[in-house]
A = this chain, B = another copy of it.
Amino acid sequence: MTLVAQPQALHFPQPLALQSGASIAQYDLAYETYGRLNADRSNAVLVCHALNASHHVAGVYEGQPRSEGWWDSMIGPGKPVDTDRFFVIGVNNLGSCFGSTGPMHTNPATGKPWGADFPVVTVEDWVNAQARLVDALGIDQLAAVMGGSLGGMQALSWTLQYPKRVRHAAVIASAPNLNAENIAFNEVARRAIVTDPDFHGGHFYAHGVVPRRGLRIARMIGHITYLSDDVMNEKFGRELRSAVGAAASDYRYTTQEVEFQIESYLRYQGDKFSEYFDANTYLLITRALDYFDPARRFGGNLTKALAAACARFLIVSFSTDWRFSPARSREMVKALLENRRSVSYAEIDAPHGHDAFLLEDPRYLALVRAWFDGIARELSA
């Protein structure tokens, strides 16, 4: 049965105080829900998105059969997160560019688009905004919060900011903070955007242009870090560009034209991304990644930082993920165990690198299914 998704939005007229000290006077959040909230409002699952995704997590839009949500393999009727049993909420984060209030919207103080003046938002700020949405939906406690990558950071942060409101948390392909290399890749991507002459200091909307060159480069860098070395070699290797009918067999000796398949793939991904993603959002979201570091105010001690959590955890990593390696997941597992928290940990032997968390690996999906089955059993107990 096809799940038909229906985007919704809620307006929040109360100011939201942000971690930076700034605040946002009012905002909208775009969201979707799938399944039905049960009578005691105990079966809600919040799904947090990563860098370039949105509230459109599962299902398709009416009449658009190819508009599957970004985690449609995971969430839906009969799927690992079964919407016949759970009430699933997808929400677009503040500062994003898919419906929630962000840099492209009007800054009420100036009457012009926020642009680069949109306040810096953090994972903690997003969680606070999401909590208000959960309030508005009449839910006191979430059966689970889940997310991959940056979404996993939000799930983790929920357990620290609202420990009583989260019974379970699934933190997938994530990390307790970025390391220097992660920040470095983000910074290069940001510099590519900010130094694009079409960026205009972040106020490019007024100039009728988009810093596409920078966005393309940012996305190309991102894609390299999403894939494993192995899968890149297997998928592209040193294969030459496509020629008429088949792969070309000879070098054409060019520095500016496509020679290898991998180049063609990256250019395509960059072009596509630059057509729909907002440059200011890219800066905001990569910065939220950089800033996330719950251990920071505990002098770097993650065990102390995670002491506040009382949810039951599922932590999943993927063997070839070099962006957020299994070692980073194990740091979280260790800190939780040192706090005697309940945690299931799986390292999935998958070839796909960081991207694996979005793919249909049968062992991975079976694992998440079993974990949610356990939660469902608790509901009916």
Which residues on A are within 8 Å of B, measured CB to CB? 19-22, 116, 120, 177-181, 183-185, 187-188, 190-192, 194-197, 202, 213, 216-217, 220-221, 223-224, 227, 229, 232-233, 235-238, 251, 253-256, 259-260, 262-263, 266-267, 270, 280, 283-284, 287, 290-291, 293, 296
User: Are A116 and B256 neighbours in the complex by a CB distance under 8 Å?
Assistant: yes
List B contacts of A188 (CB < 8 A): 217, 220-221, 224, 266
Distance of A185 Cα from B178 Cα, bound (Å): 21
**Assuming the A-B contacts A217-B217, A253-B120, A256-B116, are A263 and B187 also in contact, with contact meaning beta carbons closer than 8 angstroms in the complex?**
yes
Contacts A/B (CB < 8 Å), 12 sampled: A178-B238, A179-B232, A179-B238, A181-B233, A183-B262, A184-B220, A202-B256, A221-B221, A238-B296, A253-B291, A254-B287, A259-B290
Q: Give the complex CA separation of A253 and B217 in angstroms.
A: 24
How many copies are assembled?
2
- Contact across chains for A270 and B191 when beta carbons are under 8 A apart: yes
CB neighbours (8 Å) of A185 from chain B are 224
In angstroms, Cα B223 to Cα A164, docked, is 44
In the complex, A17 Cα to B126 Cα: how many Å? 61
Looking across the interface, which residue of chain B has its beta carbon closest to that of A217? B192
On whether the beta carbons of A232 and B181 are closer than 8 Å, the reply is: yes
Given that A180-B236, A197-B197 are known contacts, is A187 also in contact with B262, CB under 8 Å in the complex?
yes
